[in-house]
Amino acid sequence: MRGTNTLGLRQTASQRMTQALQRAMTLLQMDNAELAGALVTEATVNPCLRVELPFATPKSGSGPPRWRPSPFSATEGAGERLAAPEASLYGHATTQIGILFGGQRERTIALAFAEALEPSGWLGTTVETIAAHARCSVAEAEAVLARLQQMEPAGLFARSLRECLGLQMADQDALTEPMQTLLDHLPLLARGDVAALARICAVNAEQLGAMVARLRRLDPKPGARFQAAPDHRHPPDLLVERDADGRWQVTLNRESLSRITVDPLAGRAGSQALAQARWLERTVAQRNRMMLEVAAFAVGRQASFLEHGPTWLQPLTNGEVAAALGCHETTVSRIRTGLTVETPEQVLPLSAFFARGGATSSDGASVPGPAIAALIAALILAEPQEEPLTDADIARTLGARGIHISRRTIGNRRQEAGFPSAAKRLKGRRTT
């Protein structure tokens, strides 16, 4: 009888451990927006768990935008040549004003609004002040502003965080009554009073969690994307900056990260709720620590890539990072999937710091595929306009540098870099 009981207890413990590990692994592979939604779902039904959700609110005169994404495929300094000329926020706004407004009076008022735009895309002054500057009534200014707020990208010319996010939700045809109610009560969300929010919005825990996750994926600074190509629309999960000694450091982006606290006094609701809240607190803390460890190792290996561009990318695999950190390879794979990193120059997916060797140089070093694609892009950008390099030409040039790659592989990497064949490049230049 004793043996039977012991067997039953062991089976139950094993099942619980499996469920806990599965939940932990699910949290591990979430980005900060998904994590916020999951935690709000939990906190809505668990009185012991409090979740605070900070929002990045642009401030007037706050200087250059913080998030400046750019293409990963371009070589260093080649982004401007690969893409169309970069448009400034003001240039974009004035161009659209010329399209949206036909009358001179409305256009004058609209230009006054454009002059008041902050780098974030928000208005830096009140409508009353703009109306006085444009010598029009406040009602006229409001009517012009309503049309300006239809401009792409959604969220421009907003006067508050609520309005900025609301414009983006309306643009996605997702501004439902519960979502509008949620936007009207953002201070409650920031403080973590999610149970009250669920009641006010008349939704259940799962619905509120999904709404919050969607809200956290919106861009609170839509004007910032005009600094470079718009690859990423929501705040990054991690930040990479140099410290006082010039070394690269990785930190969590606190502006997008949920903050968890456990209220033991609310444990009267049951010991299970308190235990669950403490487990979530520990698991999220472990998730954040593992994110930092994986990213720090990758950034440490790819310092030359950060400083000089994709051609300096070094081979790095999940297994190598896992062996160094003493964790499983699948853990590293989950962490690197979906997370984004802001560097001083651009926003990148964390996966951009990982690459398998695509070729071997004459000195025995492995050259990753993305680095090869960047080298090919650099050669094509510097080629004579009337004598484009064929894949065979590129293979010979790289071979002279000690990187021996087949012509077929060159063709594949060239396509990855976004370039057509030599014949099509020449034809395109002659027809333009």
Question: Strand pairing of 340-342 and 238-242?
Answer: parallel
Of the candidates 167, 202, 237, which is a domain's last residue? 202
Asked if residue 259 is part of any domain, the answer here is no
Amino acid at 401: R
- Token output for 339: 């997370």
- Which residue range is the domain that position 385 belongs to? 356-431
Helix (H) or strand (E) holding 368: strand 366-368
Asked if residue 116 is part of any domain, the answer here is yes
Asked if residue 176 is part of any domain, the answer here is yes
Asked if residue 391 is part of any domain, the answer here is yes
Of the candidates 202, 221, 243, which is a domain's last residue? 202
Residue 258 exposed, middle or buried by CB count within 10 Å (0-12, 13-18, 19+) = buried
Contact 109, 157 (CB under 8 A): no
Amino acid at 418: G
> pLDDT for 187-235, tens place per residue?
888 888 899 999 999 999 999 999 999 999 898 888 877 754 334 456 7
| Backbone φ, ψ for residue 360 (5° rounding) | -120, 130
Asked if residue 95 is part of any domain, the answer here is yes
> pLDDT for 325-379, tens place per residue?
998 888 898 888 878 898 887 788 898 888 776 666 655 566 777 777 778 888 8
Domains held by the chain: number: 2
Asked if residue 12 is part of any domain, the answer here is no
Asked if residue 144 is part of any domain, the answer here is yes
> pLDDT for 256-282, tens place per residue?
888 898 988 765 656 888 888 999 999
The pTM assigned to this predicted structure is: 0.68
Of the candidates 202, 217, 235, which is a domain's last residue? 202
Asked if residue 266 is part of any domain, the answer here is no
CA-CA-CA-CA torsion sign (60, 347, 68, 166): negative
CATH number at residue 415: 1.10.10
Q: How far apart are CA 273 and CA 277, in angstroms?
A: 6
Contact 298, 321 (CB under 8 A): yes
Contact 216, 37 (CB under 8 A): yes
pLDDT at 432: 57
- Token output for 292: 């930092």
pLDDT at 9: 44
Contact 75, 84 (CB under 8 A): no
Task: Give the contacts of 249 (CB within 8 A, at least 6 positions apart).
Answer: 240, 241, 242, 243, 296
